Amino acid sequence: MSQLTFEEINTTVLKTLDKPTPGYWRIVALLFTGVLVLFGCWGYQIVNGLGVAGMNTPVHWGTYLINFVFWVGIAHSGTLISAILFLFRAGWRNPIARAAETMTVFAVMIAGIYPMIHLGRLWVVFYMLPLPNQRFLWPNFQSPLIFDIVAISTYFTVSSLFWFTGLIPDFAIVRDRSEGMRKKIFGFLAMGWTGKSGQWLNYSRGYLLFAALAAPLVISVHSVVSWDFALGVTPGWHTTIFAPYFVAGAIHSGLAMVITLMIPLRKLFGYEKIITIEVLESVAKTIIFTGLIVGFAYGTELFIAWYSGSSIEQESFWWRAFGTYAPQYWIMVVCNTVIPLAFLFKKVRTHIVALFVISIFVNIGMWMERFVIIIGSVAHDYLPNAWGFFAPTLFEFAIMFGAFCLFFFLFLLFAKHLPSVSMTEMKEHVHHRSHS
- Residues 140 to 179 in contact with other proteins, rule: CB under 8 A: 140-142, 144, 146-147, 150-151, 153-154, 157-158, 161-162, 165, 168-169, 172-173, 176-177
Residues in the chain: 436
Does position 197 bind other proteins by CB under 8 A? yes
**Residue with Cβ nearer other proteins (24 or 296):** 296
Are the C-beta atoms of residues 34 and 401 closer than 8 Å to each other?
Answer: yes
Residue type, 183: K
Q: Cα dist. 24→20, 106, 401, 417 in Å? A: 6, 20, 20, 12
Residue of 140, 161, 152 lying closest to 210 (CA atoms): 161
Residue 130 C-beta: closest distance to other proteins, Å: 6
Q: Scanning residues 177 to 196, which ones bind other proteins (CB under 8 A)?
A: 177, 187, 191-196
How far from chain centre, in Å, is Cα 257? 8
Residue of 251, 333, 319, 311 lying closest to 286 (CA atoms): 251
Residue 29 and residue 78: Cα distance in Å, rounded?
A: 26
Residue of 88, 162, 84 lying closest to 422 (CA atoms): 162
Among positions 90, 125, 391, 394, the unique one binding other proteins when judged by CB under 8 A: 90
Does position 427 bind other proteins by CB under 8 A? yes
Interface mask toward other proteins for 300-339; x: CB under 8 A: xx-xx--xxx------------------------------
**Residue with Cβ nearer other proteins (20 or 139):** 139
Q: Cα dist. 230→195, 196, 276, 374, 382 in Å? A: 48, 50, 40, 11, 16
Among positions 122, 201, 338, 394, the unique one binding other proteins when judged by CB under 8 A: 201
The answer for residues whose C-beta is within 8 angstroms of residue 145's C-beta and 6 or more apart is: 128, 228
Interface mask toward other proteins for 256-295; x: CB under 8 A: ------------------------------------x---
Residue 123 C-beta: closest distance to other proteins, Å: 22
Residue 207 C-beta: closest distance to other proteins, Å: 9
**Residue with Cβ nearer other proteins (160 or 393):** 160
Does position 391 bind other proteins by CB under 8 A? no
Residue type, 194: T
Among positions 71, 242, 329, 411, the unique one binding other proteins when judged by CB under 8 A: 242
Residue 378 C-beta: closest distance to other proteins, Å: 16
Does position 129 bind other proteins by CB under 8 A? no
Write the DSSP symbol of residue 182: H
